[in-house]
Amino acid sequence: RSISELRVQAIRAGLDILPAGSTFVGRDELALLGWLASAQRVVPRPYTSPDDADLAAIIRRCATLLDEMGLHLPPLALHGAMGARR
């Protein structure tokens, strides 16, 4: 459910989110993955968070849920957030 909320909030924040089942990942989706990866870190990087407070909150919630499930995004995912539109 939270992942669905993340998608809805990302679209509301103006990010381009491709339809489920797309064969590739878009730039804004890479940014979301980077923000999720940063939120899973003990000390999130300062440039890896969206300016939209609601989107940032759902990202933190999803990152926590992923952590609780034992799913951890690799450090390489952080690169998706660099230079992302915030």
* The dihedral formed by the CA atoms of 67, 45, 52 and 18, expressed in degrees to the nearest 10: -60
Q: Output the pLDDT for position 3.
A: 85
Tokens of 78: 């952080």
Residue 15 burial (C-beta neighbours within 10 Å; 0-12, 13-18, 19+) = buried
The string of pLDDT tens digits covering residues 54-75 is: 999 999 999 999 999 999 998 8
Task: Decide which of 12 and 77 is more confident.
Answer: 12
- How much is the pTM? 0.84
